[in-house]
Amino acid sequence: MSVKASPGMGAALLAVVALAAVPATNIPPYYLAFLYLIFFWIAMATSWNILSGYAGYWSFGHAAFFGTGVYTSATLATKFGVPFLLTLPVAACVAALLGSAIGFVVFRLQRLRGELFALITISMTFVVATIISNTPIDGGSGVYLISVPLPEAFGSQNGTIYLLGLFMATLTIGTAWWVFRSKMGLGLFAIHDDEDVAEVKGVPTFRYKIAAFALSSGIAGAAGGVYSIYVSYVTVGETFEVTVIMYPVVMSIFGGSRHWLGPAFGAVIVTTALYGFAAGPQASLVRGGVALGLIVVVLLLPDGVMPSLQRWWRILLPGLAPRQVLPELLVPTPRATGAVLAQIAPPLLQCRDVTKTFGGVRALKGITLDVRPGEILGLVGPNGSGKSTLINVITGHFQLNAGSVTFDGTSIEGMPAHRVARLGIARSYQIPRPFNRLTVLGNVALAASFGGGVGEAEAERLASYWLTYTGLAKKAFDYPVQLNLHERKFLELARGLAARPRILLLDEVLSGLNNTEIDEALGLMRDIRDRGTTIIFVEHLMRAVVALSDRVAVLNNGALIAVGTPEETMRNPEVVSVYLGKAHAS
């Protein structure tokens, strides 16, 4: 990601400098304390959002990392005499390590997503609280920090705490912005929309989730460290209370969890409303208003306030909004140039005795199949014959139980799907599975970036090219839900092509298309092959299979029953039997 100076960045820098100068004024220290609370919740909500908002892994364990930071700083400062400022990076590291360790276990198990992940993280909060409560770290009596020395900024400890809060908020927003704009951010958004597809498109999902969790928990730990000196007396009950768990969630939803600034916006509004009104009957009214506002936002602005503001801005002031112009086309450079003579070259892909079982069901029974470079291989068979399973095994989505898969001499069985994708194996899905909250351009650029291994700008230019190639250029800034089935199928194709694949696996890309659209698609596939990409395509439409395939492989009940030219295969009695019944075969 390239970072260029912009008026927005200049204004942000000025704002930070102006805020840093506030303690030098004669402002009553209460306002410094109040602003500190806002900074604190900005750091908490924004850090929560880096994992939970971007990647969609809703964590209710933020209090665990916050509490780890609180007690790390409190313990080091009070029991070991460590200068307080030095305890803060340690608090961040301990919390980040804890987050990483939890993630290392939890993220390996695909079933631990959604509500199960939320349950595990909330359990972690109770586990950490119980450990701290029942060990000398706290022991039940709390830790009092009043005697902990703290350097004075602008003549007071309040000034120091304020600046630490400002630093944490700035650092957190900066980190959230950086992640948002980076390749990692794109990957996290893809994980949010469809993690399995993201992995197959080349996103290193495990690594990204660990990194996001570490960043998120580390920042919460550092914020906890600062908080410990602010409140000066820390107890398990107060540190791990439910508001610490829930407020970041509420603030992020309110402000917009899909936007890097959304949680900060939510934190400012919610903190001001909750803490700014402390006397009189209006205090409860304001808090009730916040709750009501949240309901309204959830109902009317499901993406939160910030993304909605952005949308309204584009509508109301189209002249000032960023222009949506398709980037200049970049003609792709294929990884393998030109079509290779399929008959004489060594196989590009080799499957040997590939076996895949699901419980007691053997979905693939020792498939042995070679795919030659530059050919179009039709993969056919009745429903349930194992076609899609074979594609899933080749692309690394499923791990095989026995056998081997070799791609251009490299063994790829057991290899994570994102690494398989980066070797040059791309696929489309029978039922299109686009990333619904990325634009059409974003969907294709992601595949180019991760699968194709190119930089951000180049990825967008390549995406432009493939969108133009598949006739979707006019839809580049639409979202997938705005496309019809034909367009969504072609989006799948564009995503596959943008990864610069050496072999492209197309899973029933023609199903649901009319005759004109099918002819158009067949033309595209021939052209793709002519550009040097090997194609395996799963299809039920025999007209297309015969017209397009150099060879056809037929699966039945998980076994390969025939492979050869279309004519040979169609005359094979076993194939005829499978498709038309034994009477026709005899």
Residue 236 touching other proteins (CB under 8 A): yes
Nearest Cα to 426, choosing from 466, 391, 470?
391
Which residues, listed in sequence order, are joined to residue 153 by a DSSP beta bridge?
156
**Choice between 196 and 238, CB closer to other proteins:** 238
Residue 577 touching other proteins (CB under 8 A): no
Secondary structure (3-state) at 541 = coil
- Residues 213, 103: contact at Cβ < 8 Å? yes
Q: How far apart are CA 122 and CA 115, in angstroms?
A: 10
Q: Which of residues 241-260 bind other proteins (CB under 8 A)?
A: 243
| Nearest distance from C-beta of residue 78 to other proteins, angstroms | 12
- Residues 72, 95: contact at Cβ < 8 Å? yes
Residue 278 touching other proteins (CB under 8 A): yes
Residue choice 31, 167, 177, 206 for contact with other proteins (CB under 8 A): 31
**How far is residue 463 CA from its own chain's centroid?**
19
- At residue 581, what are phi and psi to the nearest 5 degrees? 100, 160
Residue 33 touching other proteins (CB under 8 A): yes
Residue choice 13, 14, 119, 231 for contact with other proteins (CB under 8 A): 231
**Choice between 10 and 151, CB closer to other proteins:** 151
Residue 37 touching other proteins (CB under 8 A): yes
Residue choice 5, 17, 18, 279 for contact with other proteins (CB under 8 A): 279
**Choice between 30 and 80, CB closer to other proteins:** 30
Nearest Cα to 59, choosing from 9, 125, 132?
125
Q: How far apart are CA 287 and CA 505, in angstroms?
A: 55
- Residues 23, 154: contact at Cβ < 8 Å? yes
Residue choice 7, 8, 28, 359 for contact with other proteins (CB under 8 A): 28
| Nearest distance from C-beta of residue 278 to other proteins, angstroms | 4
Residue 128 touching other proteins (CB under 8 A): no
Residue 132 touching other proteins (CB under 8 A): no
Residue choice 48, 189, 230, 260 for contact with other proteins (CB under 8 A): 230
> Cβ of 322: how many Cβ atoms within 10 Å?
8
Q: How far apart are CA 62 and CA 220, in angstroms?
A: 7
Q: Cβ contacts of residue 155 below 8 Å, gap of 6+?
A: none
- How many residues in the shown chain lie near other proteins by CB under 8 A? 36
Residue 34 touching other proteins (CB under 8 A): yes
**Choice between 35 and 420, CB closer to other proteins:** 35
Residue choice 196, 238, 519, 550 for contact with other proteins (CB under 8 A): 238
Which residues, listed in sequence order, are joined to residue 349 by a DSSP beta bridge?
371, 407
Residue 2 touching other proteins (CB under 8 A): no
- Bridging pattern class, strands 376-380 and 534-538: parallel
3-state percent breakdown (helix, strand, coil) of the chain, nearest 5: 60, 10, 30
| Nearest distance from C-beta of residue 75 to other proteins, angstroms | 16
- What distances in angstroms separate CA 303 from CA 266, 291, 297, 315, one per listed residue? 12, 17, 8, 17
**Choice between 283 and 546, CB closer to other proteins:** 283
| Nearest distance from C-beta of residue 506 to other proteins, angstroms | 57
Amino acid identity at 375: E
Q: How far apart are CA 227 and CA 328, in angstroms?
A: 49
Residue 312 touching other proteins (CB under 8 A): no
Residue 29 touching other proteins (CB under 8 A): yes
Region binding other proteins by CB under 8 A among candidate stretches 275-283, 349-357, 380-388, 562-570:
275-283
8-state DSSP, 319: T
- Tokens at 226, concatenated: 């600062």
| Nearest distance from C-beta of residue 287 to other proteins, angstroms | 8
**Choice between 236 and 349, CB closer to other proteins:** 236
Q: How far apart are the first and last CA of the chain?
A: 64
| Nearest distance from C-beta of residue 36 to other proteins, angstroms | 8
Q: How far apart are CA 569 and CA 583, in angstroms?
A: 18
Q: How far apart are CA 192 and CA 188, in angstroms?
A: 6
**Choice between 28 and 338, CB closer to other proteins:** 28
Residue 146 touching other proteins (CB under 8 A): yes
Sequence length of the chain is 586
| Nearest distance from C-beta of residue 275 to other proteins, angstroms | 6
Q: Which of residues 199-228 bind other proteins (CB under 8 A)?
A: 227
- What distances in angstroms separate CA 43 from CA 38, 173, 361, one per listed residue? 9, 7, 50
Residue 383 touching other proteins (CB under 8 A): no
**Choice between 32 and 440, CB closer to other proteins:** 32
Residue choice 142, 327, 366, 382 for contact with other proteins (CB under 8 A): 142
Residue 127 touching other proteins (CB under 8 A): no
Q: In what order do the strands lie in the sheet with 425-427?
A: 425-427, 503-507, 534-538, 376-380, 551-556, 559-564
| Nearest distance from C-beta of residue 173 to other proteins, angstroms | 21
Q: Which of residues 155-194 bind other proteins (CB under 8 A)?
A: 156-158
- Tokens at 556, concatenated: 């039945």
Residue 81 touching other proteins (CB under 8 A): no
Summarize as ranges the residues that interact with other proteins (CB under 8 A): 28-34, 37, 130, 133, 140-142, 144, 146-147, 156-158, 227, 230-233, 235-238, 243, 274-275, 278-279, 283-284, 287
